Amino acid sequence: MAKQINNISGAEAIIHCLLEEGVDMLFGYPGGAIMPFYDELYKFQKELHHVLTRHEQGAAHAAQGYARVNGRVGVCVATSGPGATNLVTGIADAQIDSTPLVCITGQVTRELLGSDAFQETDIVGISTPVTKWNYQITRAEEIPEIMAKAFYIARSGRPGPVLIDITKNAQFDKFDFSYEPCKVVRSYTPKPVASEESLQAAAKLINESKKPMIVFGQGVVISEAEEVFQQMVEKTNIPAAWTILGKSALHTNHPLNVGMVGMHGNYAPNLLTNECDLLIAVGMRFDDRVTGDLKTYAKQAKVIHFDIDKAEINKNVYADVAVLGDAKESIEALLPLLNEANHEDWMNVFKSKKAIEQSQIIDHVIQPTEGPLTMAEVIHKINIATNNEAVMVTDVGQHQMMTCRYAESTTKRSNITSGGLGTMGFGLPASIGAKLGAEEREVISIMGDGGFQMNLQELGTIFQTKVGVKIVILNNEHLGMVRQWQELFFDRRYASTVMDNPDFVKIAHGFDIPSKCVKERSELESSIQEMLDTKGPYLLEVKVTKEENVFPMIPSGCSVSDIRLS
């Protein structure tokens, strides 16, 4: 039965819409055009916890972290003009990484639209390319239907961000409120059902293959298909590799998990992509950082592509069989059609290639015996101290690749990072949202010195909320990833990548956050434990080697077969 309330303002109606959709937390920053909403929100502080970030971009990223850690829709709020435009980077990040957000922005009154009024910006026009859907509300009566539609679109099918722009008059005007959750939108089919024909064709290729390989992405996580996906992997005994956003869908220590694909992924799965006879892509979009040169990518293999979004099929890589549907539902339907198999000889090829990477790279970086501290050994020590169970939230750069390569994941939704957009400044606010979305879990934010300074003002949000995020800054005094490219491809011309950094420990003290700087290997293990034992937030700066590179590496535009170990 629809909820009905007579004669309430549009601003109060927004509150009731949020409550009806099960929202209990939102991230935002007030301002003139959204002030009526905040005035009503003041009356509902017990029902709706509002987190005041220090920048609207921080609000968007925090909402992303919240959504990614628990699968719910993240909500962020901003005023018109600069407040709305400051959300755009987070919205674009959410769009390319399929994160469900509802972004609410205030707008000038309907009568002033198009007049270049104070803080008027066409946020609907600006955000159209980076939202799943957006809409401008100019009448209070529109609010219930549009808000219901917004949440339905954001969470259904392939999730994504939705922006609702609400004029100030629509927030003030009164009307009789009635709310019905949205269950269908005309011409929108969010979750296609895999055809029997495609499932039979996929099963035939899998059952007949001699050297199959699975590459799985975030679609497995989004559809909550982790358990049934593991059943598929174990029944067929197929080596399975993950994209950067697919990590944690299958435990990294699972015997059939062969590592990460992509530019800085593991040696074996990258190299053997061009040797398998069947490539099974599950919930991934064949991003250029995964495929390298498309002209040489897996040309010897048949390709099966499982995806919920028809637009991804044949976009980058031609699929011999396309299974269009929700990953969990598709795999459940496929499982009875699959034969139990043994690919031991093929798996041994992966093991032999892994041994090469282990001896030439991994052993040297996770357990060095001399020289400066390395990023990988810091991650390795955190693994041990957290029993591989922490949620690892990263920013973007070398530390991100090191964390994705070396952080072990034994629990679901334990890897939160900016994948497709590669947004520096993502890590700190996203970790705040992740911790608030999963307070029972240990959340560790791994950042470089460059990315940390992109949004370090969010330490103020931590100061105010006391949220127990553990912050680790891997400080190499460079924009590390750009510096690596300059070293390898630009004759070490370090143009604008050397960082003269402030005292991060003093900055943390200014926000009443316990902190410490580690420079020596002998201090590292005890300092990590001190951080974990501290109740509430903590900032640990670790001085790491200045010119450490992330290897293996596939140079930009090259084939996955051209992966370099040094």
pLDDT tens readout for residues 25-60: 999 999 999 999 999 999 999 999 999 999 999 999
Residues 324, 265: Cα–Cα separation, whole Å: 27
Residues 321, 444: Cα–Cα separation, whole Å: 40
174 lies in some domain: yes
366 lies in some domain: no
Residue 499 and residue 450 in contact, taking contact as beta carbons nearer than 8 Å: yes
Residues 214, 268: Cα–Cα separation, whole Å: 13
Assess whether 418 and 476 both reside in one domain.
Answer: yes
Domain boundary among 350, 383, 418: 350
Assess whether 539 and 431 both reside in one domain.
Answer: yes
Residues 529, 551: Cα–Cα separation, whole Å: 28
Residues 252, 245: Cα–Cα separation, whole Å: 13
Assess whether 259 and 170 both reside in one domain.
Answer: no
Assess whether 205 and 326 both reside in one domain.
Answer: yes
Domain boundary among 350, 381, 406: 350
Cα-based distances in Å from 399 to 367, 371, 394, 551: 17, 18, 8, 12
220 lies in some domain: yes
Exposure string over 302-322, b if 16+ CB within 10 A, otherwise e: bbbbbbbbeebbeeebebebb
Q: Using DSSP bridges, classify how beta strands 321-324 and 302-307 pair: parallel, antiparallel or unpaired.
A: parallel
Which portions of the chain are predicted below pLDDT 70? 1
- The four Cα atoms 479, 480, 483, 487 give a dihedral, to 10 degrees, of 170
Assess whether 324 and 465 both reside in one domain.
Answer: no
112 lies in some domain: yes
Residue 422 sits in which domain range? Answer: 372-543
CATH number at residue 220: 3.40.50.1220
Res 1: pLDDT = 56
Instruction: Output DSSP code: residue 498.
Output: B
Sign of the torsion angle spanned by Cα atoms 293, 297, 299, 302:
negative
Assess whether 345 and 377 both reside in one domain.
Answer: no
Res 260: pLDDT = 97
Assess whether 13 and 104 both reside in one domain.
Answer: yes
Q: What DSSP assignment string belongs to 223-235?
A: TT-HHHHHHHHHH
Domain boundary among 120, 148, 179: 179
355 lies in some domain: no
CA angle 58, 59, 63 (to 5 degrees): 115
Q: Which residue has the tokens 């072990």?
A: 408
CATH number at residue 19: 3.40.50.970
Assess whether 410 and 497 both reside in one domain.
Answer: yes
357 lies in some domain: no
Res 369: pLDDT = 87
> Does residue 214 sit in helix, strand or coil?
strand
* Residue 69: its H or E element: helix 56-70
**The token pair that represents 144 in the structure block:** 């219930």
Assess whether 175 and 203 both reside in one domain.
Answer: no
Res 61: pLDDT = 98
* Residue 443: its H or E element: strand 443-448
Residue 15 and residue 38 in contact, taking contact as beta carbons nearer than 8 Å: no
Sheet with 133-137, side-by-side order of all strands: 49-52, 25-28, 74-78, 101-107, 161-167, 133-137
Residue 390 and residue 442 in contact, taking contact as beta carbons nearer than 8 Å: yes
Report the half-sphere exposure of 249 (CA within 13 A, side-chain side): 35
Res 2: pLDDT = 73
515, β-bridge pairs: 539
51 lies in some domain: yes
Q: What DSSP assignment string belongs to 371-430?
A: SSB-HHHHHHHHHHHHTT-SEEEE-SSHHHHHHHHH----STT-EE---SS--TT-HHHH
Res 3: pLDDT = 80
Assess whether 125 and 231 both reside in one domain.
Answer: no
How many CB atoms are located within 10 Å of the residue 60 CB? 33
**The token pair that represents 13 in the structure block:** 């109606």
Question: pLDDT digits over 136-158, tens only?
Answer: 999 999 999 999 999 999 999 99
Sign of the torsion angle spanned by Cα atoms 528, 529, 532, 537:
negative
Assess whether 138 and 225 both reside in one domain.
Answer: no
Residues with catalytic roles: 56, 118-119, 168, 481
Assess whether 33 and 171 both reside in one domain.
Answer: yes
Q: Does pTM top 0.75 for this prediction?
A: yes
Please count the structural domains in the chain. Answer: 3
190 lies in some domain: no
